[in-house]
Amino acid sequence: MSERAWENVVVMDHPLIQHKLSILRDIGTGAKEFRELVKELAMLMAYEATRGFQLAETTVTTPITETTTYVLAGKKVAVIPILRAGLGMVDGILELLPAAKVGHIGLYRDPETLQPVEYYCKLPEDIGERDILVVDPMLATGGSAAAAVQFLRAKGAREINLLCLIAAPEGIDEVVRHCEGVKIYVAAVDSHLNDHGYIVPGLGDAGDRLFGTK
Ligand code: PRP
Ligand code: URA
C-alpha cells in the first residue's frame, strides 16, 4: 500500500496516552486497573478525535463583563462500541460528550476463520445525522471494524471515525481498503499479527482482560 493510503490515520503519540498504554499492555495489570485505563485512554483519544468539531459564537456574562465566547455548534454524536471489548471505551467518551447517543454492534471473530460474525445491532434512529465514533480497543485483521463500518454505512451513516487503542498494520490496511473516508485514530501501530490473528506485541485478548473471562 502507498504511504498516501494512510493519510486518514492518526497515531496519537501524546505522552499520557503512551504511558497508560504501556501499563495496559503489561500482563500483570489486573481487570480493575485494565478497565480504568481503557476508559482513560478512550477519553484522551476522544479529546483529540473531536478537535475538528465546529464552534459557534455565543455571549457569556462573567462576574466582570459580557464577552463573546464559543460553544460546540450543536454537534450530534453517536458512540458505537463493537461488542464486547468496545464497551470498555464508552464511559470515558460519554464523560466528555454526555449528549452523545450510544449504539451497539455485536461482532465476534470466529477463532478458526478469523471472520467477523454479527450477533447484535441496535443503533440510534437518526444515525445518518450524527458524527460517529466506532470504538474497539483492538484492530487486528481489521475484519470486525470493516464489517461494522460497512454495516453502519448501509444504515445511512456518513461521518465515521474509528478509535482503536492498538492496531496491526494489516488491520489498518484492511479498513483503508474497504472503508474509504473513515478517519482512523490509534494509540499505537504494532509489529504484526501472529498465526492466531493476535496483535504482536499487543496486549492479549482485550475482551477477556476487561471482563476477567480468562
Ligand atoms: C476482538 C476485538 C475486536 C476484534 C479485532 O474482539 O475487540 O472486536 O477482536 O479483531 P479483527 O480486527 O481481526 O476483527 P473478539 O472477536 O475477541 O470479541 P470480544 O470483544 O467479544 O472478546
Ligand atoms: N482481539 C484481541 O482482543 N486481541 C488481539 O490481539 C486481536 C484480536
Entry pTM:
0.94
Q: What is the pLDDT of residues 28-61, one digit of tens each?
A: 999 999 999 999 999 999 999 999 888 999 999 9
Name the one residue in this structure whose C-alpha cell is 458524527: 131
DSSP 16: H
Q: Is 153 a catalytic residue?
A: no
Q: Which residue type sits at 65?
A: T
pLDDT of residue 109: 82
> Rounded to whole angstroms, how far apart are CA atoms 49 and 77?
12
Q: Determine which one of 109, 131, 141, 209 is catalytic.
A: 109
Q: Is 126 a catalytic residue?
A: no
